Amino acid sequence: MKVAALDLGTNTFLCLIADVENGVVTNVYHDTAEVVRLGQELNQTKVLHPEALLRSDATLKKFAEIIKRHKPHKILAMATSAARDAQNQSELFAICERYKIPVQIIPGEHEAQITFQGAVSNFPNDDVRRVVIDIGGGSTELIRGVGHKFEFGESIDIGAVRLTESFISIQPIEEVERRALKRHIDELITPVIEKIKQEKIDQLIAVAGTPTELAKMEIGKFDALKINGFKLKMAHLDRYEDVFASTSIEEKVEKLKVSPGRADIIFAGTTLLRAIVQKCGFEQVIVSTRGVRYGIALEMEKA
């Protein structure tokens, strides 16, 4: 069955068009991501910003044209943290309706399960206990499972956009802001990681923009085949956290070649990823280019 699975995240909208057969994503016809920054100033205002809605409209129009060309049997968009939190979420729904894209808001607890299914979909269905780390713009999911079987997961209300808007006023980043950010991260992730570590973890997997951007920087370009499975070591995370703290947004783009839509939030995302990997007691994390959109595709086959 051919499906169109859309992940409407706080920072990025993603569109996957693929075949799903017997619980496996097979042929991928199209897989694209657009930085939309749906969560612009949402933490302060509690509403979706007019500029963010305009960017959403432009991106969903583009996705609708792609979907029309591929003629999938089913279409489903799932909106995550930003849409859950926004008082005017109906304005996003109206845009989806205009382009004939069915949309649902994923409850936080369901997002963890969908993310896990997507992230491990190209790993063996074995006895390995994996923890998936999904650092979004507005929330972060930590999910544990064995093989393809989901065990436990929690959604935490911290993400790269939310943390940046709450703690970072200038880049290069002042030491007082860096310390406050790290304290806040530690307070929120510690209780969840203590639950995660009640069972022995064999592997850590990281999905979404922060780990894929860091892997891209190490490889030298965006190559999905090389990024998928890339091992980010603590040494990488230590180095990038320090480099991002000491550079301006312009330097991140021009000298470090960070994607423009991520340059302002990459420090917060890296700091959060490093803190999770360290607290889990690991020296490396495996990067996966899969995530919520793959989980949505698998969910559509079940429906």
Q: What is the DSSP letter of 92?
A: H
The CATH number assigned to the domain holding 73 equals: 3.30.420.40
Q: Are 116 and 131 in contact (CB under 8 A)?
A: no
In a domain, 112, yes or no: no
Instruction: Provide the 3-class DSSP secondary structure of residue 295.
Output: helix
Count Cβ neighbours within 10 Å for each residue of 268-292 and write b for 16 or more, e otherwise.
bbbbbbbbbbebbebebbbbbbbbb
**Beta partners for 2?**
19
pLDDT in tens, 70-96: 999 999 999 876 777 789 999 999 999
pLDDT in tens, 230-280: 999 999 999 999 999 999 999 999 999 998 889 999 999 999 999 999 999
pLDDT in tens, 40-55: 888 788 899 999 999 9
Percent of the chain with pLDDT over 70: 99
Q: Count CA atoms within 13 Å of residue 40 on its CB side.
A: 16
In a domain, 302, yes or no: no
In a domain, 54, yes or no: yes
Averaged pLDDT, 54-59: 96
pLDDT score of 109: 66
The CATH number assigned to the domain holding 172 equals: 3.30.420.150
Averaged pLDDT, 94-112: 87
Provide the residue range defining the domain that includes 58: 2-106
Q: Are 168 and 258 in contact (CB under 8 A)?
A: no
pTM of the model: 0.86
Chain-wide mean pLDDT for the chain? Answer: 92
In a domain, 117, yes or no: no
269 and 186 part of one domain: yes
